[in-house]
Amino acid sequence: MTEITISMLKQLRELTGVGMNTCKEALVASNGDIEEAVTYLRKKGLSSAAKKADRVTNEGMIGTAETSAAVALVEVNAETDFVVKNDRFQEFLRNVAEEAAQTSPASLDNFLSQKYSKDSGMTIDEYRATVIQAIGENIQIRRLQILPKSSDKSIGVYTHLGGKLVVTVELGGTNGEEGLAKEIAMHIAAASPDYVSADKIPSEILEHEKEIIRSQIP
């Protein structure tokens, strides 16, 4: 049996856009042959995803969902803003965010390869492929963030423009203050600060700003 290397996995992922675990499954099934692995993925219903994987996805939104145990943020991108506003895209965004909140995956690759709870016959990545087939554009789950809840912190989430901008604030040492955390998140979204506090500002940035102020003094 041919050894499946990291470079082979990366090559197949670049060609198809599917998750690393799914790439490994395809390479094992095809004994390390890249072309056969692509064919294998297409036979599993990932043909549209493979064909469109090289298309640039510069538009997108962040979906949020939460359970009693965690808050999940999932960024999903498409090729055009028109598709991002599509009902099918929005449904997919909600579903994957809810799935992430319920399962708290350790990584994006793990999330893509796990079974989709609403249809155990497919993985999350295969579900993504069905959306690509229905919409006709490349769809990518770009990033995933899980924020675990606990009894000594409060997490607030503020979503602006339907998910174009999402801010989360975590308050330590307190519980039940999600409303306050959300209000702070809303102010952060409006102000768009680069740093949380003065001591977080890099010295070179601070010195640069001081120099600008000094130059303005007559």
pTM of the complete model:
0.70
Q: In the chain, which residue ranges form alpha helices assigned H by DSSP?
A: 6-16, 20-29, 34-41, 47-52, 81-84, 87-103, 108-113, 124-135, 178-191, 203-216
Residue 48 reports pLDDT greater than 80 = no
Residue 139's nearest CA partner among 103, 174, 107, 91 is: 91
Residue with tokens 């912190």: 153
Question: Is the per-residue pLDDT at 165 higher than 80?
Answer: yes
Q: What are phi and psi of 54, to 5 degrees?
A: -90, 0
The answer, yes or no, to whether residue 55 has pLDDT greater than 70, is no
The C-alpha atoms of residue 18 and residue 190 are separated, in whole angstroms, by 36
**For residue 40, what pLDDT band results from cuts at 50, 70 and 90?**
confident
Burial 46-73 (b: 16+ CB within 10 A, else e): bbbbbebbeeebebbbbbbbbeeebbbb
| pLDDT 10s digits, 168-206 | 999 999 889 999 999 999 999 998 888 888 888 898 888
Is the per-residue pLDDT at 64 higher than 70? yes
pLDDT in tens, 112-149: 999 999 988 889 988 988 888 778 888 999 999 999 99
